[in-house]
Structure 1
Amino acid sequence: MDTIRSSQITKAIQCISESVFVGLCRKLGTSQLVTMRRDVVDIMEKVRNQVTTSDEDRLIVSGSRSEGFRLQGSDMDIMKWSNNQCVVWELYQSQYYNTHRQTLILCDCSDSPPGFTLLYLLSPSMDRYIQRVCVRMNNRYYVSSSKYRQFSLSESSLTTPYNPTPHGPCASRTLGPIEFDNAPCFVSDFWPPSASSWIDRCHLWPQPHVVDDIVKNGCHFVAIGHKLGHHEDHEWRISFSQAEQKLVFVMNHCQFLTYGLLKLILTEIINNGVGDDDKLLCSYHMKTAIFWVIQQNTIPHWCPQNLLGGFWVCFKLILKWVYEGVCPNFFIPENNMFLSKICGIKQHQLIIRLSELYEKGLAFLLHSPSIRSYIINVLHNPRNSICTDDHTLISEAEFDRNLFGEILPHNISAKLDIQSCSRYLHTIEQMIGSPLLTQYQVLKLQNITARVLQYTAFKLHMETYTPDNKLSYRADKMSCHMLKLAAKFGCITDMLYIAMYYYKTHRYMEALSFVEMTKVKLAQPYVMHDFIIDTEMYTAAVGGQSWSTKMRQAVARYVRLYNSIHYINELIPELQSALQNHWTFLFVPSLVLLYMLEILCYRHVDTMRVQTALDDLQTLVHYDQGQFIPLHLRDIAWQILGICQQVTGNLQAALYSYQQSLRQKPYNKVHTATEMRIQSLPMNSLN
């Protein structure tokens, strides 16, 4: 009887595990989705690093988003370092560098806690940046982490529009829903001697070729010292971010979802309702736990039926670490990551909290909003079969929505010159034919190409336009060609860049022809507007076609306008307002921009049709419920309506629209322009 009951319990747990696996695939992504996200981030990083000159910083992208997560709060860590500075562990390694061109730095770990080091200048640095952040100790010059961090933050405040704030060794900033942590750092091409034991531990996981790849890529150093170190203000932490990302990439999907489940439980249960100062456990501890569990081969079979088994082993390991007050770093186990953080009364309170969850067993997962329903479904319907083939868990339309959400965002700097644009195009031309590229990476390269072509076309016009000039004529032909070529690589609303260019160059009928083509396409019921989609209509219309075709025919996105380029003269005050308020772009809903162009063009060629277009814009702005105007873009929508009302002479309506713009969330930072426009309205015409 006991054997039968044990078998039934095991079967029930396996069914619940399968159901949770399905739920996590839908919450965190199927294996195909996760692969696509990683590929897109990877190709963006490669393009950026190949485009940069030898004097510019190199970078790697890490963090939750680069690992493949898209949870609320998933961050993106950007580690930057100079090509002209190299760190060595032993003096003999300096022979591999040109000391006349590169600053050599030697690690000095003799008086630092495990996982930390001092950085001693071996050769004089010509870099004023380095000279300003050095301190003298024992007749040597060391690069001070605290000074480096402060100087980097002050420099970032001057050069970035996003008002960075200090966050550990990083300058943190938020763009939309994504948090970016910029970490200026140093790089070593050599693996740390203190992490050599990790190589010896890798018997089963990761595989030898992965170990070799990790070791040959060395490590980084980020600007933060150990709180209990003798030189906290000057020490640097050894960072294995690049190695950790490679380890996450070689997890199978069940292991990745288990890691994701640990992150969810941390957010939704362990840290739920806890103040920021009392959140002792973090996502990095969860990652460390699953690394140790996988490597120690505690779970022989990571599969959907055993997902909860793997999770439970990880949870017990974390509880053990908290109880002992020791969390060994995966690469340097002597580095106890709980030291000075999880101790005393806070440690005792955390033990009680985790022990209460442990005593409930896996039932405590019912407190997670993300997976509760998947557990309950099995409890209510224990005989239902569960399909865990993650390729069937997401529809074609839903996958496309996720894909275009990764592909379409712009990823080029707002400060490019013509030469930089040329380097972008040359780099992409060299990369695009590589057989090593995935289909997602090819699509992203096409999209970057479209963005660079659009940017170059307007930049070229700004820098070469002179009336009745042969050079301007040639540049104009090139700009038109680039914009039309970009539209072939992009989505429906990329045709509006062509319309803006024709309007800017006073070719109103040509502009209207592209406005009309765009309007016809946007009116189709199957079009995906800013990733809002009617799944059935979309699938019926473009299902099974190539992604390039789907983008051109069935995908619409808001239009991004760089404040460094004057696309439309009527929007110059808004672009300047964004610039003054440390914002790089205007994000304009596509239909709002379309109606604006229609109104502005008809004023020159057919004044009888201006009012109809204005009525269409007014109806859209007043009554749209988020279908065509995302809620966070209502500030610019009301602003543009006001501009169009003002240029057509309806000043009272324009005042109302400007006032409505000021009442919205100032996402586009146009409030300075709004206030200026209100003040410029003739007061006697408003009475």
Structure 2
Amino acid sequence: MFQEPDYRENLSLALSEVLHDIGVNERLVMRRRRHFMLEETMQNITIRFIDRNMTCYQLGSQSEGTTTRGLHSDSDVLFCYHEFNIIQDWSEWEHGKKNYLMIQDESTTPGYCFLQLLRPDIPLPVTVIPNEHYINDRSGRILLKNTLYIAVIQDAVVHGPSIARQGQDGFCDMDSVPALPCKSWPQSASDWLDRQGIGRWPTQDMRRYAVSTRCFVVATGSKVSEYPDLEWRISTSLAEKHLMFNLNITQIRCYVLLKMILKSFLNPQGEINISSFMCKTVLLHCIENTESSIWKENNLFICLTYCLLELHSCVQNDHCSHFIIRENNLMAGQFTAEKKHELSKNISDFLQNDRQMLLRIEIDDLGYRLQVKLNMVPHGAYYYQSSLAMHEFYMTEEYLNTAHNTSLTHVHILRHLHTKNIRTMKHCIGKLITINVNGNRLEKTAFKFMAPFLFTTYGSILASSRISENNQVSPQALVWLSAGLNSDISSSRLKLASVFYCTGDMERAELILRHIEQQYYSYPVVPICGCLNNPPSAVTEEYMRICGEQSEDCIKHITAFCVRFIPKEMNCTPHELQYEMFRSTQDDMIHRVQYADYWMDWAVVDSLPFLYFLQYKIFSHLQRYQDKQQSLSKLIRTIVTDINLKHRETALNILGQCMEQENRPHEALKCYMLSLQQRARNNVANFHICKLLSGVLSDQ
């Protein structure tokens, strides 16, 4: 270490400034937390809307705001299934629930338990094994295996209790953790409530809140267990999240630095020797056992050193106690002797060469930035993004994620609604409105994003029903369609224009389309789609500037959602697009992903191609030949040049039909062939090709 008396303070301040610049500051941490709380609220409103008896919780570094762009942290979502009731005492048994008695004895690893199956009608144990998910132990108890929810899902990788879906470029990976709710705070964590460290942290208020949060069991056993398939880990993740929300900015920065050191020097090439959760636990222990006054910006380096010394001790002793359930050793069975020696040496080397090692961290250009802050190199010697650019990046990421989540909720709700009758749909929308009226601020914000799409869909369904009777649109349908117009810059208005087009009101439809096109080119708009797991759209500097300067309300002016028609909206859908609802042959159905591709029974198209397609059709009806050809040219140019299109195969299919109507069969065939290159299966282009060739042969 360096001998200058003030070097630690100078280094601490420089580190704090660098971390502030890359987004670890109070403002962005709070924004990140709010964003994930809003995402959680949207998901839970959707769950309530579709009558699922579960709750989701956003957890981990992303939701805590304790990560950076370069750390590429996972997004963790815990799904709690309320039909289960995990009890510690017979008095907690509930009639009609799937009751399980939590068993912790000499055969279970500390922090883990067995689950004994109980009867749902009376508080007694079940004595007969019901199916393959259970086993009869030596004591005659029927125990639930932890393999209940561990299933191999297409495109998913199983990590312990979580089902991790690997993210595409631009998306973080997501761990979805199924969990069963405990009726009460676990007895093994009760000692923590009375424990008091030097720093008098957590406070009594934090502890009281922790007890009020829900605890879970998740489906994974200890690495040192004799019964790894039977053990369930006790999770106090909501209490831990509350503690993380009560850290100050220096403590958060210390945690971020620990994770950077972990990724750069202790877990090279993506190995997971020491987990970020272990680093978090070490940090919490250090905060508990130090005076709160040391956790200041000018002490950041000293705090980091203290945490590394504590981590080094944990590795040497093969022991890292869970912060709340102390008996649970997070490092039990984690390392071989060789790996332990290697990790211990690496941490020691870092501590002996701390500043030089910090300067070597490449994540978020931390080392380069630190050199500049310490005047080791002149400004401009290295290129890295300014703090303003980083702020704009985070805001853009947040707004795009909010838009994407809005689209996802619409997809999930449509999946639920498309089989319901109109009366049931109205009742469901009434539930959503009630949530808004009685809800908190986050629920009202979620309603603001979610509701317009549902209003538009409901109005379109009403319109489709009346069109089939008398080719008119009822006033009630127009009210609902109007209520949804501000969903985004284009998709709901395009639906309204499509309704007018399908009833022959070409002038009103054309007026709406003209307005959409003017608005579309007044802003740097990007398309958003929740149907596919595609990367997010590429954005311009102007788009990022708007995100950095404006509130989340700007999303409605700078995003264009795809336009979705379910079969109940058939009469509001141009016939060229109706084919998309019948894209799959029996063989194609085999190649669908059951829980992801249900949108393939709908007609879905990107906003901009649909805009130009409708213009082309309307100008054809109005006999405005020049305008018609201009719209066709714009449709072609959009398909060829817009890299952000999500449903390019559908755009090519409707372009091919336009070419057929132009009596250009060769160009039509080319469009359909290009469409098949985009999506070989579940593509109605196969039908269009057969139909086109049949027509050509008939003409010959």
Aligned to 1:592: 609
2:165 is equivalent to residue 173 of structure 1: yes
Q: How far apart in 1 are the matches of 2:240 and 2:544?
A: 42
Alpha-carbon displacement from aligned partner over 1:86-139 (angstroms, at most 9, x marks no partner) = 111122333xx3x2x223211111120011111112324799998562222232
Shift of 1:642: 3.9
Shift of 1:447: 0.7
Q: How far apart in 1 are the matches of 2:285 and 2:654?
A: 55
Q: How far apart in 1 are the matches of 2:131 and 2:493?
A: 50
Q: How far apart in 1 are the matches of 2:129 and 2:610?
A: 44
| Cα separation, partners in 2 of 1:537 and 1:376, compared to 1, 3 Å | closer
For residues 105-504 of structure 1, the aligned pairs below 5 Å read 105-110=100-105, 111-124=107-120, 133-137=133-137, 138-146=139-147, 148-150=148-150, 153=151, 164-174=156-166, 176=168, 177-201=171-195, 204-274=200-270, 278-297=271-290, 300-365=293-358, 366-370=360-364, 371-380=366-375, 401-409=396-404, 410=407, 411-412=409-410, 413=412, 414-417=414-417, 421-422=425-426, 425-433=429-437, 436-437=440-441, 442-460=444-462, 464=465, 467-468=468-469, 476-504=474-502
Aligned to 1:47: 45
2:69 is equivalent to residue 66 of structure 1: no
Shift of 1:674: 4.1
The aligned amino acid for 1:350 is L
Aligned to 1:570: 576
SS in 2 for 1:532: coil
Q: How far apart in 1 are the matches of 2:695 and 2:56?
A: 57
Q: How far apart in 2 are the matches of 1:423 and 1:245?
A: 36
Q: How far apart in 1 are the matches of 2:549 and 2:161?
A: 47
| Cα separation, partners in 2 of 1:125 and 1:180, compared to 1, 3 Å | farther
Q: How far apart in 1 are the matches of 2:656 and 2:305?
A: 58
Alpha-carbon displacement from aligned partner over 1:443-496 (angstroms, at most 9, x marks no partner) = 33201111222333344456x456336xx967x443332222112354444422
Q: How far apart in 1 are the matches of 2:283 and 2:164?
A: 27
Q: TM-score, normalised by structure 1?
A: 0.81
Alpha-carbon displacement from aligned partner over 1:357-407 (angstroms, at most 9, x marks no partner) = 3333133233323123321221337999xxxxxxx9579976763553243
Shift of 1:47: 2.2
Q: How far apart in 1 are the matches of 2:176 and 2:129?
A: 17
Shift of 1:42: 3.9
The aligned amino acid for 2:19 is F
Tell me which moved more, 493-502 or 230-239: 493-502
Shift of 1:225: 1.8
SS in 1 for 2:374: helix
Q: How far apart in 1 are the matches of 2:664 and 2:247?
A: 62
Aligned to 1:652: 666
Shift of 1:321: 1.9
Shift of 1:620: 2.8
SS in 2 for 1:279: coil
- From 659, 673, 679, give the equivalent of 2:684: 673
| Cα separation, partners in 2 of 1:362 and 1:524, compared to 1, 3 Å | same
Aligned to 1:619: 637
The aligned amino acid for 2:63 is S
Aligned to 2:539: 532
Tell me which moved more, 480-489 or 584-593: 584-593
| Cα separation, partners in 2 of 1:489 and 1:195, compared to 1, 3 Å | same
Q: How far apart in 2 are the matches of 1:396 and 1:647?
A: 49
Note if contact 1:164-1:171 (Cα within 8 Å) is conserved in structure 2: yes
Note if contact 1:259-1:287 (Cα within 8 Å) is conserved in structure 2: yes
The aligned amino acid for 1:92 is S
Note if contact 1:17-1:305 (Cα within 8 Å) is conserved in structure 2: no
2:628 is equivalent to residue 610 of structure 1: yes
SS in 2 for 1:468: helix
| Cα separation, partners in 2 of 1:104 and 1:546, compared to 1, 3 Å | closer
Note if contact 1:269-1:368 (Cα within 8 Å) is conserved in structure 2: no
The aligned amino acid for 1:429 is I
Shift of 1:525: 5.0
Alpha-carbon displacement from aligned partner over 1:186-208 (angstroms, at most 9, x marks no partner) = 11121111111221225522332
Q: How far apart in 2 are the matches of 1:271 and 1:568?
A: 55
Q: How far apart in 1 are the matches of 2:390 and 2:337?
A: 50
Note if contact 2:111-2:234 (Cα within 8 Å) is conserved in structure 1: yes
SS in 2 for 1:521: helix
The aligned amino acid for 1:532 is V
Alpha-carbon displacement from aligned partner over 1:21-58 (angstroms, at most 9, x marks no partner) = 223317997234224313312422442454464x7333
Q: How far apart in 1 are the matches of 2:191 and 2:167?
A: 40
Note if contact 1:25-1:257 (Cα within 8 Å) is conserved in structure 2: no
Alpha-carbon displacement from aligned partner over 1:231-250 (angstroms, at most 9, x marks no partner) = 22122111222222222222
The aligned amino acid for 2:668 is A
Q: How far apart in 2 are the matches of 1:29 and 1:576?
A: 49
Supply the RMSD in Å over aligned alpha carbons: 4.0
The aligned amino acid for 1:590 is S
Tell me which moved more, 316-325 or 444-453: 316-325
The aligned amino acid for 1:467 is S
| Cα separation, partners in 2 of 1:543 and 1:266, compared to 1, 3 Å | closer
| Cα separation, partners in 2 of 1:452 and 1:217, compared to 1, 3 Å | same
Alpha-carbon displacement from aligned partner over 1:314-352 (angstroms, at most 9, x marks no partner) = 333323322222222222222112222212323333334
| Cα separation, partners in 2 of 1:644 and 1:444, compared to 1, 3 Å | farther
Q: How far apart in 2 are the matches of 1:145 and 1:49?
A: 24
Tell me which moved more, 35-44 or 320-329: 35-44
Note if contact 1:64-1:75 (Cα within 8 Å) is conserved in structure 2: yes
Note if contact 1:453-1:482 (Cα within 8 Å) is conserved in structure 2: yes
Q: Where does the alignment leave 5 or more consecutive residues of structure 2 unmatched?
A: 380-386, 528-536
Q: How far apart in 2 are the matches of 1:663 and 1:83?
A: 45
The aligned amino acid for 1:673 is V
Alpha-carbon displacement from aligned partner over 1:422-453 (angstroms, at most 9, x marks no partner) = 45543443443568515xx5433201111222
Q: How far apart in 1 are the matches of 2:686 and 2:265?
A: 45
| Cα separation, partners in 2 of 1:496 and 1:140, compared to 1, 3 Å | same
| Cα separation, partners in 2 of 1:57 and 1:436, compared to 1, 3 Å | closer
Shift of 1:220: 0.6
Q: How far apart in 2 are the matches of 1:443 and 1:562?
A: 25
SS in 2 for 1:149: coil
Shift of 1:573: 4.8
